[in-house]
Amino acid sequence: MMKKFYFILFSLLFPAAPAYICAQQLTAKEIVKKADEKFNGEKSSETVMAMTIVRPTWQRTVEFKSWTLTRDYNLTLITFPAKDAGQSFLKRGNEMWNWNPAISRLIKLPPSMMSQGWMGSDYTNDDIMKESSVVNDYTHEITGSAIVEDRECWVIKMLAKPDAAVVWGHQVRWIDKKDFLLLKAEYYDEDGTLMRTETGSDIKSMDGRMIPTKLVLKPMDEPGNSTVVVIKNIKFNIPMQQSFFSQQNMKRIH
């Protein structure tokens, strides 16, 4: 009797424990969805980032500001270096445009450019567009647990649905059990060859949420290359209008 009482008391004192027990009930798909929302915001977000492109003989940093509204709208403005500053990228649904103030041209990025590096980094235009959904275009399965960054994580294998327009054959994601943080991801091609890894670290509280603020992307076929993204500031679920994501605004925003 007493034993049972202590157990209930223990549970009340340490709410994380029942949360853990509850989370066990979550499906793999829900975990991935929560982790995705955690980072991108349920509705909208505003982020200030610095991206460092690392190559064997040199490295270069680009800073930018990015606004997102649901999965469909995104606007990114380059703020550093001066030569690139003022360039902006707009995503609306499946389409992407680039505004370049040096030539006063609005360029629509064709589908053929989607697999090319964004601003010379290892991120492709497709990564930035996030045309495919990690929630809807994959089937998810929890394959185990592991410790990443001193945190206990679910290991989730995501297999691309046969009819989904995705780049990868399958992905493996390590998602923190407590805060639903994506701490590590491996991307494989159709033949099951590891193509790149992405790791999250420097977990900090930003706008009331714990998130990894440093993301490192390493392409496997090019040793010595990597791209490091550091999140300097992020705000979640701020009021945003669809009209903000317009071609006119791309040119106006500074």
Partner 1 sequence: MKSYLLAWRNLWRNKRRTLITVASVFFAVFFALLMRSLQLGSYAHMFQNVIESYTGYIQVQNQDFRDNSTVDNSFDFTPDIRKLLLSDPNVTNLVPRFESFALASTGPLTKGVLVMGIDPEKEALLSDVRHRLVRYRLTPEAIDSIKQMDIPGNVKSKLDLFRGESYASPSILQLDLGIKDRDAGKIMPGIERVTRISNGYLTAGKKEALLGDDLARYLNLNIGDTLVMIGQGYHGTTAAAKFRIVGIVKLPTPDIDNKIVYLPIGVCQEFYNAPGMLTSMALTVKNKSDKAINRTLKSLGKQLPSPLRLLGWREMNELLINQMDADNKSGAIMIGILYLVIAFGIFGTVLMMTTERRREFGVLTAIGMQKSKLAAIVSFEMVYIGLLGILSGIAAALPVIIIGQYHPIRFSGEYAKVYESYGMEPVMPFMNVNNYFLWQSVIVAVIVLIAIAYPVRKIYKMKLVNSLKA
2-13 vs 16-25: helix crossing angle, rounded to 10:
90
Work out how close the CB of 191 gets to partner 1 at its nearest, in angstroms, rounded to a whole number. Answer: 26
Instruction: Name the residue nearer to partner 1 (CB basis): 44 or 121.
Output: 121
Instruction: Name the residue nearer to partner 1 (CB basis): 99 or 154.
Output: 99
Work out how close the CB of 223 gets to partner 1 at its nearest, in angstroms, rounded to a whole number. Answer: 16
Instruction: Name the residue nearer to partner 1 (CB basis): 117 or 169.
Output: 117
Work out how close the CB of 206 gets to partner 1 at its nearest, in angstroms, rounded to a whole number. Answer: 28
Instruction: Name the residue nearer to partner 1 (CB basis): 117 or 219.
Output: 117
Cα Rg, the chain, nearest whole Å:
20
Instruction: Name the residue nearer to partner 1 (CB basis): 53 or 182.
Output: 53
DSSP helix, strand, coil percent of the chain (3-state; round to 5): 20, 45, 30
Q: Which residues bind partner 1 (CB under 8 A)?
A: 53, 55, 58, 60, 81, 83-84, 87, 100, 102-105, 107, 117, 119-121
The residues near 159 (Cβ < 8 Å, ≥ 6 apart) are: 138, 139, 141, 169, 170
From CA 177, how far away is CA 174, in angstroms rounded? 9
Work out how close the CB of 87 gets to partner 1 at its nearest, in angstroms, rounded to a whole number. Answer: 6
Between the alpha carbon of residue 6 and those of residues 15, 16, 89, 187, the distances in Å are 14, 16, 57, 45
From CA 98, how far away is CA 27, in angstroms rounded? 39
Work out how close the CB of 79 gets to partner 1 at its nearest, in angstroms, rounded to a whole number. Answer: 14
Amino acid at 201: S
